[in-house]
Structure 1
Amino acid sequence: MSLFGTSPDESSVAATKSRLSLFDDDVPTPGSKSSLFADDDNGAGGSPWGIPTPKKAGRGELIKTLLPASDVPDTYIDTFDNILKDGDSAGGKISPAGITKVLSAAKLGADEQSRIMSIVSPSGEATLDRNEFNVLLALVGLAQEHEDITLDGVDERRKNLPVPKLPSLVSTTPLAGVSELAAKPPQRPTTPPTAPQEIQSKPQTLRKPSMDFPESDDPWGSPAMHRGHAHETDIPKTNGTPKPASNGAHEPIRTTSNFTTASRESTNGNGASNRDSDAPTTVSSGVWGSYDGNSNASFANTAATTIGGEGFGGAGDDGDRTEPPRRSFGGGRIAGGPEETVIITLLPEKEGMFMFQHHNYQVSNPRKNSRVVRRYSDFVWLLDCLQKRYPFRQLPLLPPKRVGVNGNHLAADSTFIEKRRRGLSRFSNALIRHPVLSQEQLVIMFLTVPTELAVWRKQATISVQEEFVGKSLPPGLEDSLSPTLEDLFDRTRSGVRRSAEIYINLCNLMDRLAKRNEGLAADHLRLSLSLQSLTDASIDTYATDTNDVPLLNEGLQATAKHVSNSQSLLEDEARAWDQGVLEDLKRQRDSLVSMRDMFDRRERYDKDNIPYLERRIQSNESRLVTIRGKPEGLIKPGEIEKVTDAIIKDKQSIVAQHARGVFVKECLRDELINFQQTQYHVSRWNQDWAQERVKYSELQADNWKQLHEELDAKQLPTPPPPISPPSQHLRWQTKFAMPPTPKQRQDLNQFMILTGTTERIATRYLKGAGWKLEAASDSYFAQANSAGMPAKDTSGTLTKLFDKYRDEDQDEANTAGVEGTMTYLGDLEVNMENIEVLVPLEIIQAPVVGEMTRQGFVDGWKALGLDTVDKQKAYVAEQVKLLPNDPALFKRVYRHTFVCAREAGAKALKVEEALIYWGMLFSPAGRPWATATINWFELWSEFLQSKWTKSVNKDMWNQTLEFANKSMQDESLSFWSEDGAWPGVIDEFVAYVKEKRGLPEPMETD
């Protein structure tokens, strides 16, 4: 059964088999004789993602064919021949005495020797032929390197087999003298001479890694797309960076878990490198990360660049060298082909418990027909892994996450969720456009594995290492780098910083322009509706003579229709800006900010301690000379070896750190070459935006031109001759009262719902109170009580209604718990994720969120005279609509939010919880705390999260609203002074804002 879905059919087994895996293989017990290799036959169930099933058949044949003589280093062959010459043979096979001699020379423990023998001789046979002996040596090498002693481990290392250390069977290299250990400055490697033509690698049988795909040049490709094609031999890759194998085949090293172990250069018994060390080594000129000399593919068809070298440049080759297949730009991507796109879709259903729910996103690639479901935290995990592995590359940006508790984005409205979805789309597309990151196995798995990522991460053992770990410096690479690279890096970093700030402002300005277009479209709609309403009043307005009214109405209707058309065009244009040029600007902004972050990471992480190591080497050398100058009897055993090992390790560390510095420079140079392409994206968004402006300008012009032609074609009424002014008596007769305004009409309807009176009585009370709803309602009820008018008693009905939502078994007598409260709020049809839920909680004076009391419920609705859910629902809906425009109502809801948001018995709110409720209150559904140029709530959130560590008390909560109201009226903060009575947190926030905005004379605070 496959771990990640349906296993492939038999025809695809051979193409998808691999010997590299993300997963650590369990150490087999003596009773378990099977592994992934039991699937080498053509039987069913050969999914590379499947969990191995125990099989015992075929183990002996597997060992005999696993490591043929053509696939092993020379040391394996020499060791076999030496043992045969020593007489430890039986019929051309190694006898038990020879096996014992090998295990003794390896100095392995009894358990390790028993494990090895149980694998190579499962049937109890005591002799081994050449192929079986090769497996024995490979297992011994794995044991000495402290890796798992399994056939899986041997097969994973078959292109980079370990060389066992057998000092009693092969000669060793003498210890280096003092002169050889002398401190030397880092030497630039030189290109070795061309090897003889006859020394070539033997033919290899390449096996595809499990993390790769049938076409190594395109790991995103489908196997069906390449059947029947005649491609050249593929070279498996790991993270897009090939490396020469130690046993004669060019093969990638493993870099995470089973596929990320650092490679080791195999040596023979005489200390010389294996046959590959004599093979010609070419300078890396591959565009992305081919630091080991396996690629000469240059950037942009090896065209000369201003950065130095030949594209990614290495030294030129002789033209006579034997090279492995070259790796093209980006690990085999075809330049000029269709651009890969990833589509991020927000799934409508949420997952998780109430108040702790999260959104899911479908990540799909139409070209590859892959669909996976991921959540926001999965993207965060992926970026964290990429930052550890590729700190010196241009990593894309993730959109911010809204403040929440345990991943529950309480304050996230639909607008923010859509912005985050677009940000995730930009992040994913930037990944697959990057020539190195797109080849990273974690990225491929993230975009293709259909299993939930949290489950997949538990199954996989992932140890992310920096991409330069274990790499040796290729000859000529350092010479190929331009000496002016550092100046270029500094100049580019300065320009990127300035451009990033400008693009951030451009995105804000374009967003405001799009929103203004939406507002202009809304005003056009109101204008069109008003013109249409005007036609209804025309017949009464011109009742004196109605002959020309039909013509007049036709002109008004034509104008209203074209105004409505203009409104539709404005909405389309605003939508096009939002989805087009604004996204293009954000893409360019993200690219610049990611480059800025890359340079910042280099400043933090590109450091070494080479001067310190050189001083320590000199000290150890002096000490070594002193020790050797002593008589033999005074030298402690092992003292010379200890000092010598310290000198060797320090020199190796210097070489590794020096090589890492060169790799970092090459990596940054490559990233700059890739970043250079963004200038064409700038040209494209300018052209697209100009085309959009021309398109909608022409459509608007055509619309108004059609209106002008229609009005000219109509025979509109001509002005009549002037008439004499009306008499005083006529003016008195036509005098009438002004109708209420829309705001007064809302107050009138609310007063009628509240009191149950007629429109005439409601109008009289509201006019008497100056159209103040609260004062008018108080006056009405006060006069009703003083006059002895029978008031409607709703206590009994409200009590029964409250008991309907109370659980008699779990809730107290006068309290409704979380379940009943949530049910009641659901009946009121309020949105429980924004400010709407706070309105009914204020009316019933809920003590905490998720609980209501009988007294608060009855008293609150009794004062309003609303005793049914339908009336209450209508009243709450009306209050929600009034909330943004009614400061008194908003203030009541705001202040009660502090009461119900606190935990039972607490006097203050935690900053994290306060930010959640502030986000609900200052959202578009409430009263946004923002002005034309400043988003005050974002600044307030940043300030509290970075500067404020205390809790939020009642005074700070109330004063925040007062400061918010004043700051929205005067964004220059001229109302604030150091001698004012504002709380200390407000004073510190003002200083923070002035410092961030660059205003003069920021306040100094302790």
Structure 2
Amino acid sequence: MFNAPRTRPQGSFAFNSQTSSSTPNLTSSYDPLAFNDQDPWSTAPSPSYTPPTYASTPAPAPPPPAATSGSGGPSSNGNSGTGGIIDEDRLSSIYQLALEAVDPYGRGEGGISLTAAGRVLRSSGLGSSEIERIINIVSSNKPRITRLEFHLALLLVGLSQEGEEPSIDRAISRKHNPPVPSLNLDSITSTGPSSSLSTSAPINADPAPSSHVSDHTSSPSTNSSHYVPPTFPPPTRTSPPPPPPAPARRLSADPWSTTVPTSPPIPTLAPLPSHSHSYPSSLVAAPSTGLKGGLLAIDKWWEKEMRIRVTLVPEREGRFLNKWTVYGVEVVRPGEETGGVHRRYSEFTWLWETLLKRYPFRCIVGLPPKRLGADGSFLEQRRRGLSRFLNFVVNHPTLKADHLVQVFLHEPNLEAWRKSTPISLEEESKGKGLSEREEMEVPGDLEDKLAIARRLLTPKVHSWSNIVTIFERHSRRLEALGADSSRFAMALSSLVEASSETWKGGIPVNAVSGWGGEERERDELGEGVREGLKRVGRSFEELAVGADQRSQQLLLVTLEALKSERDLYLAFRDLFLRHDRLSLDPVSKLQKKIELAQQKVLAVQATKKPNFEAEVDKIAGQIEAAQAEVAGWMARRGVIRSIMWSELAFLLHPRENTMVTLAFQQFAREEATYSQEVELVWRRLEEGLETMPLEG
């Protein structure tokens, strides 16, 4: 069922489609447009980025035989085992440490940028021509390499350091005894290359899925949208001054209304549970009512959002063929190591399904799909989707107060807890009613507002899907530019090495006249040109590192923010589908039943048969029971209307506007800074080449 192809949405969404609330793949927030026009439910391999080719670009050479995992079968990156080059079980720890230095959270499942891989290889101390040769072996005109290609490059480095030829044949011969490369990883994780093109703000390899791009006044340690990854150099400049803070918004029952209450209630957030893993017995009771007033009840709510980091655990769990991918889930707290828990995809599914049953009329972001035989690229995409889902849940005004969410975040053995603890699946609106004040807070034209919101979902989903696709293409082009700049810098360095000796330097100065010593002629012109080429190479390396950093920031922060905005509208589309299906009730049938019973009472009273009073009492009891049932269903209608109003006014409206504002504010600010730093590199190079000689 998971591999059945889906049709791409065309123009509009049919809100009467039959969506199952028990299958995350049917209401997933993923859209085919987000996967480069490939459907994640199809049986085709996961998409990987291929840079555009131009008329002046030679066709790429065929890749080397694929490296394989220890089993000799297909690797987790989707490479089929054709040469059996690498047995990952035999690799020393330096291979894993190098991988974590360039990709601490994805563990290489989504690939490693060529620029970052080049920095690791240069830390080996090999010459530029040797590094360029190794890069060309493992990658041909690609901006990214797979995890196994990265390991192959390190293996070739080890061969070269041992004095052997770095080739595929030698790598195969050392499969059972791979060399241990000598790398200076401190130069990568601590200082990195000298470059003015540091990222304008530390980026996050696990961005907040709720499309939150933090206010730039926040400290990196307090914001999971920004953390300092060990692969990238630290900033060498100060951030631009922050704009004046926006005035705090006051709570209003209707965000479209011009009336503002004089003293709005500002409830406080419930504290997180302790780490004793002791949870209240109310788990078996009804769902939580959450925070009244939604996001608007919290002053500057976007600065107070909780952060969850989802990572891929390197080692899969299970036995033999029955193994599964495990995700690390960690609550990010400022200045505190909170540890974390391991969760399977099926446990994410359990949380998603349980929340849907308890809160069917709340907006809940869908889960990424499941695929049999998923490769590394798909797993990385799924990790990011799970991160967006979980961060949305923990920042939802109502869902975050559900104790099941806290259990999911903190319980070490969730499987055992589920077996020993009864869980209520009672619907949030069941058995509840609204007070007179709560009924008055729901606008009378709510149905019209919901109809407008529903009508606007189709163009918004379509537009945001296109925005995500185009922005990812833009970010990938910048990554490819960084890879080409790195290749260009390596080629220049190889040229400088090859030009270290010249024919002119080998001729004695006075060889013709026959007098004097063996003093050799100095090639001042060649030395000056080589020095200029070194400057050009260093500048291109700075540009490569800067482009790689910037592309990763765009992909891991800005793109995830845009995807979260898209996910929000897809979640509301699914909410309307559930509302159409689950809000139906038997009130009309019950009222008709009551009317018939009342007519029957009149008929029985008219006949005045013996003991007719007993029959009238019996029918009257049935009428009272039906009327009580009608009252319960009518109360449920009121609660559902209140919930839908809350989701529309206090969740969708503030989130869809505030999040996109923050995202594009930071994007524009960082793009301006990045452009200035690129210009600075070219200005310095221009000044440095002024002394490059034209003649000797």
Please report the TM-score for the alignment, with normalisation by the length of structure 1.
Answer: 0.38
Q: Which amino acid aligns with 1:375?
A: R
Amino acid corresponding to residue 486 of structure 2 in structure 1: L
SS in 2 for 1:400: coil
TM-superposition CA deviations, 1:827-846 (whole Å, max 9, x none): xxxxxxxxxxxxxxxxxxxx
Change (3 A) 1:461 1:299: closer
Offset of 1:488 from its aligned partner?
Answer: 0.9
Residues 343 and 363 in structure 1, CA contact (< 8 A), matched pair in contact too: yes
The alignment status of 1:566 with 2:543, answered yes or no, reads yes
CA deviations on 1:907-960 (whole Å, 9 max, x unpaired) are xxxxxxxxxxxxxxxxxxxxxxxxxxxxxxxxxxxxxxxxxxxxxxxxxxxxxx
Q: CA deviation at 1:717?
A: 2.4
Is contact 1:387–1:395 with CA below 8 Å preserved after alignment?
Answer: yes
Q: Percent of aligned positions with the same letter in both sequences?
A: 29
Equivalence for 1:709: 687
Contact 2:594 2:623 in 1 (8 A): yes
Conserved in 1, the CA contact under 8 Å of 2:433 and 2:638? Answer: no
Q: Deviations over 1:637-688 (max 9, x none)?
A: 9644442232122212221222212111111111122222221111111111
Q: Does residue 1:501 correspond to 2:501, yes or no?
A: no
1:389 matched to which residue of 2? Answer: 358
1:610 is aligned to 587
Does structure 2 conserve the Cα–Cα contact (< 8 Å) formed by 1:542 and 1:549? no
**Structure 2 CA distance, aligned partners of 1:526 and 1:493?**
50
Judging changes above 3 Å, is the alpha-carbon distance between structure 1 residues 527 and 542 closer, same or farther for their aligned structure 2 residues?
farther
In structure 2, list runs of 5 or more residues that go unmatched.
Answer: 1-266, 508-522
Residue by residue, what CA displacement relative to the aligned partner does 1:743-785 show, whole Å, maximum 9, x if unpaired? Answer: xxxxxxxxxxxxxxxxxxxxxxxxxxxxxxxxxxxxxxxxxxx
Q: Deviations over 1:330-376 (max 9, x none)?
A: 8xx99687332122232222101223211222222243836322111
Q: CA deviation at 1:632?
A: 4.7
Count of residue correspondences: 407
* Alignment-derived partner of residue 411 in structure 1: 374
Match of 1:380 in 2: 349
Tell me the alpha carbon deviations over residues 513-555 of structure 1, each in whole angstroms, 9 at most, x when there is no partner.
2211121111112222222233355578977996632222222
1:299 CA displacement: 6.2
Shift of 1:563: 1.2
Q: Does 1:352 align with 2:318?
A: yes
Q: How many Å apart are 1:627 and its aligned residue?
A: 2.4
The code of the aligned residue for 2:348 comes to F
**Cα distance between partner residues in 2 of 1:627 and 1:685:** 71
Query: Partner amino acid for 2:346?
Result: S
User: How many angstroms does 1:219 deviate by?
Assistant: 4.5
Pairing 1:239-318 to 2, within 5 Å after superposition: 257=284, 259-260=285-286, 289=289
TM-score, normalised with respect to structure 2:
0.54
**In structure 1, what is the equivalent of residue 152 of structure 2?**
none
Task: Assess if the C-alpha contact under 8 Å between 1:528 and 1:563 holds in 2.
Answer: yes
Secondary structure of 1:503's aligned partner: helix
| Alignment-derived partner of residue 394 in structure 2 | 432
Instruction: Output aligned runs, 1:652-801, within 5 Å.
Output: 652-672=628-648, 673-678=650-655, 679-717=657-695
Deviation at 1:436, TM superposition (A): 0.7
Deviations 1:288-331 (A, max 9, x none): 958xxxx9x65678xxxxxxxxxxxxxxxxxxxxxxxxxxx58x
Q: CA deviation at 1:633?
A: 3.2
Cα separation, 2, equivalents of 1:542 and 1:530:
22
In structure 1, the partner of 2:449 is 488
Of the candidates 392, 406, 409, which is equivalent to residue 447 of structure 1? Answer: 409
- 1:596 and 2:573 are equivalent in the alignment: yes
Asked whether 1:218 is paired with 2:195, we answer no
Tell me what 1:118 maps to: none
Residues 372, 447 of structure 1: 8 Å contact kept: yes
* SS state at 2:347 partner: helix
Please state how far the C-alpha of 1:384 moved relative to its aligned partner: 0.4
Q: Indicate if the aligned counterparts of 2:295 and 2:651 stay in contact, CA closer than 8 A.
A: no
Cα displacement (A) at 1:585: 0.8
CA distance in 2: counterparts of 1:611 and 1:217, whole angstroms: 41
Which structure's CA Rg is the greater one?
A: 1
Kept in 1: contact 2:293–2:646 (CA 8 A): no
Counterparts of residues 935-954 of structure 1 (less than 5 Å): none
* Aligned equivalent of 1:523, options 465, 484, 491: 484
Secondary structure in 1 matching 2:342: strand
Contact 2:587 2:633 in 1 (8 A): yes
Counterpart for residue 48 of structure 1: none
Q: Is the 8 A contact 2:529 2:692 kept in 1?
A: no
The answer to whether the 8 A contact 1:396-1:590 is kept is: yes
Change (3 A) 1:534 1:298: closer
Aligned equivalents of 1:715, 1:334: Cα separation in 2: 59
The Cα offsets for residues 486-527 of structure 1, whole Å up to 9 and x where unpaired, read as: 111111222233222211211111211221112111111222
| Cα offset, 1:383, TM superposition | 0.7
CA distance 1:444–1:647, shift in 2 (3 Å)? same
Corresponding residue for 2:623?
Answer: 647
Q: CA deviation at 1:393?
A: 0.8
Contact 1:219/1:439 (CA < 8 Å) preserved in 2? Answer: no
Q: Give, in angstroms, the shift of residue 476 of structure 1.
A: 4.9
What displacement does 1:223 show? 9.6
Whether the 8 Å contact between 1:551 and 1:717 is mirrored in structure 2 is no
C-alpha separation in 1, matches of 2:641 and 2:664: 33
**Is this contact kept in 1: 2:286–2:428, CA < 8 A?**
no
Q: Which amino acid aligns with 2:628?
A: Q
Counterpart-to-counterpart distance in 2, 1:680 and 1:696: 24
The one-letter code of the counterpart of 1:419 is: Q
* Distance change (3 Å), C-alpha of 1:541 and 1:514: farther
| CA gap 1:220/1:486 in 2 versus in 1, 3 angstroms | same
Please name the residue that 1:4 is paired with: none
Q: Alpha carbons of 1:657 and 1:568: their partners in 2 closer, same or farther (altered >3 Å)?
A: same
CA spacing shift, 1:386–1:542, aligned 2, 3 Å: same
Determine the C-alpha separation between the residues in 1 that align with 2:482 and 2:269. Answer: 50
Deviation of 1:588 after TM superposition, in Å, equals 1.4
2:376 corresponds to 1:398:
no
CA contact (8 A) 1:535 1:556 kept: yes
Alignment partners' CA distance in 2, 1:353 and 1:495: 49
1:223/1:511 Cα in 2 relative to 1: closer, same or farther (>3 Å)? Answer: closer
Q: Is the 8 A contact 2:431 2:636 kept in 1?
A: no
Is the contact between residue 350 and residue 360 of structure 1 (CA under 8 Å) also seen in structure 2? Answer: yes
Per-residue deviation, 1:422: 2.0
CA distance in 2, matches of 1:533, 1:442: 59
Which residue in 1 is equivalent to 2:3? none
Asked whether the 8 Å contact 2:432–2:639 carries over to 1, the reply is no
- What amino acid is aligned across from residue 220 of structure 1 in structure 2? L
Q: Any conservation in 2 of the 1:496–1:596 contact (CA below 8 Å)?
A: yes
1:797-836 superposed matches below 5 A: none
Shift of 1:561: 1.7
Q: 1:298 to 1:551 in 2, by over 3 A?
A: closer
Partner of 1:551: 528
Distance 2:539 2:339 in 1: 46
Does residue 621 of structure 1 match 2:598? yes
- In structure 2, do the counterparts of structure 1 residues 412 and 646 end up closer, same or farther at CA, with 3 Å as the change threshold? farther
Cα 1:411/1:344, change in 2 over 3 Å: closer
Contact 1:347 1:360 in 2 (8 A): yes
Q: 1:552 to 1:298 in 2, by over 3 A?
A: closer
Q: Is the 8 A contact 1:289 1:667 kept in 2?
A: no
Q: CA RMSD in A?
A: 3.2
Quote the Cα distance in structure 2 between the aligned partners of 1:553 and 1:457. 68
| SS of 1:612 mapped into structure 2 | helix
SS at match of 1:465: coil
